């Protein structure tokens, strides 16, 4: 598999195009992840409906207490933790408070992705050493990188499996050539990361999202109403079109276990 990937990179360099344009889409596999990032429940619920209709299983990284977490679990998806270690985190004042809060809302989680991908060797060591039920870290974005692969991370007795991912909606906002209405895959297995708020707004940049945040200033995002979101929905092609294009494509959605 690695040899094929290297050959594809070489071909791409020769042809000055994406290596994987050369393959039929049915050869691709993909896995969907979602960073809930304080989105209102109806945004997550709309995505759950799409996944149910297409019989796709995904991982949702949760940020706050909500009834939607039970729905995510009941529909057979993974619930990962999405700790916010930035200053003024609503989840707690220190690592232990933040992680305890998240385990309270999702006690059986084994997967982590940090909000804004904040990470360091001491931070990963502290988290995975203290909370040994966590087994997997998904905090490594390598945008458009032509390989997704799980690898072991062992440091001073702290052991975990890290899996990189290679597409995220808000990185594509700055990818000026990005075509939102067509499916696109970057490696034999592509791991996508969508934010439910950007799916709901059909964002192709942060402009309308920032206007929405200004409108609801002082309130948490999850309190935004459907009418408020409608006001700031994009009328151009965007994140939701891309998610739909992937789901409707000939590529094969895989389960989390197939990434390992
Ligand atoms: Zn986040």
Distance 114 CA to ligand 1 centre (A): 7
What rounded mean pLDDT belongs to the chain?
Answer: 93
Range 173-186 average pLDDT: 96
Q: How does DSSP assign 34-101, residue by residue?
A: EE-TT--HHHHHHHHHHHHHHT--EEEEE-S--THHHHHHHTT-EEEE----STT-TT-SSHHHHHHH
173: nearest Cα among 202, 153, 149: 202
Distance 108 CA to ligand 1 centre (A): 20
Distance 5 CA to ligand 1 centre (A): 29
pLDDT in tens, 82-115: 999 999 999 999 999 999 999 999 999 999 999 9
pLDDT in tens, 210-243: 999 999 999 999 999 999 999 999 999 999 999 9
- For residue 24, what pLDDT is reported? 84
Distance 7 CA to ligand 1 centre (A): 34
Distance 187 CA to ligand 1 centre (A): 23
- Phi and psi at residue 196, in whole multiples of 5°? -55, -35
Distance 79 CA to ligand 1 centre (A): 14
What is the pLDDT confidence band of residue 22, given thresholds at 50, 70 and 90? low
DSSP letter at 188 equals S
Distance 207 CA to ligand 1 centre (A): 18
Distance 118 CA to ligand 1 centre (A): 10
* Residues within 5 A (CB) of ion ligand 1: 35, 37, 115
Distance 165 CA to ligand 1 centre (A): 14
Distance 113 CA to ligand 1 centre (A): 8
Instruction: Please report how many Cα atoms fall inside a 13 Å half-sphere around the Cα of residue 222, on the Cβ side.
Output: 15
State whether CATH 3.40.50.920 applies to domain 28-259: no
Output b/e per residue, 142-156; b: 16+ Cβ within 10 A. Answer: eeebbbbbeeeeeee
Distance 14 CA to ligand 1 centre (A): 36
Measured torsion, CA atoms of residues 120, 141, 69, 50, in degrees rounded to the nearest 10 = 180
Distance 82 CA to ligand 1 centre (A): 7
pLDDT in tens, 124-137: 999 999 999 999 99
């Amino acid at each position: 598999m690695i040899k094929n990937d290297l050959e594809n990179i070489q071909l791409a360099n020769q042809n000055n195009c994406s290596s994987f344009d050369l393959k039929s889409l049915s050869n691709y596999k993909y896995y969907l992840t979602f960073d809930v990032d304080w989105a209102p429940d109806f945004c997550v619920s709309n995505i759950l409906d799409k996944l149910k209709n297409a019989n796709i299983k995904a991982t949702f990284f949760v940020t706050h207490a909500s009834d939607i977490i039970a729905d995510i679990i009941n529909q057979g998806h993974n619930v990962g933790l999405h700790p916010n270690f930035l200053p003024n985190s609503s989840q707690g004042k220190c690592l232990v408070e933040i992680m305890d809060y998240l385990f309270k809302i999702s006690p059986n989680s084994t997967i982590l992705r940090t909000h804004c991908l904040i990470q360091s060797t001491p931070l990963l060591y502290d988290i995975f050493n203290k909370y040994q039920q966590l087994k997997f870290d998904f905090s490594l974005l390598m945008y458009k990188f032509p390989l997704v692969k799980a690898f072991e991370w062992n440091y001073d007795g702290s052991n975990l499996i890290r899996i990189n991912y290679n597409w995220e909606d808000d990185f594509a906002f700055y990818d000026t050539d990005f075509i939102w209405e067509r499916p696109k895959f970057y490696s034999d297995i592509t791991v996508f990361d969508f934010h439910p708020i950007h799916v709901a707004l059909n964002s192709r940049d942060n402009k309308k999202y920032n206007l929405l945040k200004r409108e609801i200033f002082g309130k948490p995002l999850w309190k935004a109403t459907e009418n408020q979101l409608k006001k700031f929905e994009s009328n151009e092609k965007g994140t939701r079109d891309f998610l739909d294009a992937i789901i409707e494509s000939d590529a094969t959605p895989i389960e989390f276990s197939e990434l390992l």
